[in-house]
Amino acid sequence: MEAILSSIYNNILSVLMMILLIAVGAFLTIKTKGLQFRRFVYAIKSTVGSLFDKSQHVKEKGSVSPFQAVTTALAGTIGTGSIAGLATALVAGGPGAVFWMWISALLGMVTKYAEITLSLKYREKNEKGAWVGGPMYYMKNGLKSKALPMFFSIFAMIACIGTGNATQSNAMAGVLNKAMHIPTWITGAVITILVAFVIIGGVKRIASINEKLVPVMAIFFIVSALVALCINVEKIPAAFSLIFTEAFNFKSVFGGVAGYSILSAMRFGVGRGVFTNEAGLGSAPIAHAASSTTDPVKQGMWGMFEVFATTIVICTVSALVVLTSDVYLNIYAAQGLNPSLNGAALSSAAFNEALPVVGELVVAIATVFFSLSTILGWAYYGEVCAGFLFSKKSETAIITYRIVYIVFVFVGAVASIDVVWLLADCFNVLMALPNLIAIVALSKVVADLTKEHFAKNKLGANTK
């Protein structure tokens, strides 16, 4: 089963995903006249530049504040992909994967902006008076489709249990077992209890925890990575040179080494890009729809910031730490064949090389925080999909989903889940397909909302 799934994903689904993400991102860039470039300064000013604006922290009854919506979405985004997944991409796709990760991020900024804008445009209030939204709602209310929202919800529920849950708890248990020799079942039990306590409280408790957790963990990891880079500062120019030269390395396509062709660099770079920033997947819009903000475009700007923060900032510094380490350069010199280190182990070794003794601990702590926040963020995504799918019995469906989700936190921690990883990757693609179709079909709505927003705000980039 693992061999079949691996073949399907590597040869069909991942390639299809790469082509669609680039095509949709390019289409939306043209449709919005390069919004992510024209209005980048405006996006930064209206997001991080407004953090001390009280309106960013005001919430209606049953909703969350705009900032809480962002941190919940970021919690689901900044996961083990920023550490373990990125290191795996550097081994499988070579240094050039980082370049294509940047390209996917630049195009993904407008893709994520579009899906969040649509999510707020077509959201609804549930029986409790709380805002709910996401791709299934703009498929239903914008496209008037019955099939697409059903397919998206089913695929998303499964992907949440795999990508956002079991794989994350497995990463936590593994890294704590290696760094501190804590048995995986103990980690699994503790994390399961913590997750149960938080998600039973619903989106407001999830948002409240992530509002505090996400900024702390992001700053901790970035500062640690910058310290490591300062120690290896003389190797940084060579690392950038490797990124750009290997991004366009055609040699291995014609009979060289598998894994270091331009196609491999593109596939792993774009793939890792989307799984670190979730642009196009349709997951983050579910969190943003719960925001109390009334302006779809303003909340959409947070989506642009999320992609920039996770991929351009966090993943880049993480990649540079690995690329400036001798442990990776030895793998590169051997042309990536049979690496003794990969994934979290490679990141841990790279950090430990620059920061002896504490480097491994940094990766362990970062992995725990990143994984925990991801589990909490994706729990909300899954339960909203369950509530939509079983709308007549939404309360029962949500409670049932929470129970299943909590169980898989422990299962993921103690099990060998290679097949779960593959299933999760496959269902990520399957949930993205209907979402990308909907975004393209509703692209005129995005363009009109954008034009209307900036028509009202004539100062554009110079205003808050």
User: Which domains occur in the chain, in start order?
Assistant: 2-51+60-450 (1.20.1740)
Residue 129's SS3 state is coil
Termini Cα distance of the chain:
53
How many whole angstroms separate alpha carbon 268 and alpha carbon 273?
Answer: 8
- The pTM for the full model equals 0.86
Give the angle subtended at the CA of 279 by the CAs of 274 and 280, to the nearest 5°. Answer: 100
DSSP label at residue 64: B
How many whole angstroms separate alpha carbon 329 and alpha carbon 332?
Answer: 5
Closest by alpha carbon to 84, among 167, 177, 17, 7? 167
How many whole angstroms separate alpha carbon 402 and alpha carbon 380?
Answer: 9
Size (the chain), residues: 464
Confidence at residue 193, expressed as pLDDT on a 0 to 100 scale: 93
Virtual torsion, Cα 176, 179, 182, 183, nearest 10 deg: 80
Kindly state the greatest CA–CA separation across the chain.
Answer: 62
Beta strands in 122-195 (DSSP E): 124-125, 131-132
Confidence at residue 254, expressed as pLDDT on a 0 to 100 scale: 34
Measured in whole angstroms, the distance separating CA 399 from the mean position of its chain's CA atoms is 25
How many whole angstroms separate alpha carbon 115 and alpha carbon 137?
Answer: 11
Task: Return per-residue pLDDT of the chain as tens, 464 residues.
Answer: 778 888 888 778 888 888 898 899 999 999 999 999 999 999 888 887 766 665 554 555 545 666 676 776 666 566 666 777 777 778 777 888 889 889 888 999 999 999 999 999 999 988 777 888 999 999 999 999 999 999 999 999 988 888 888 888 888 888 888 778 889 899 999 999 999 988 887 667 777 777 777 778 888 888 999 999 999 999 999 999 988 888 876 554 333 444 446 666 677 667 666 667 788 889 889 988 888 788 899 889 988 988 998 888 888 998 999 999 988 888 777 765 556 666 777 888 889 999 888 888 888 888 888 888 888 888 889 989 999 998 878 888 889 999 999 999 999 888 876 677 777 778 888 899 999 999 999 999 999 999 999 988 765 444 44
Confidence at residue 51, expressed as pLDDT on a 0 to 100 scale: 63
How many whole angstroms separate alpha carbon 84 and alpha carbon 81?
Answer: 6
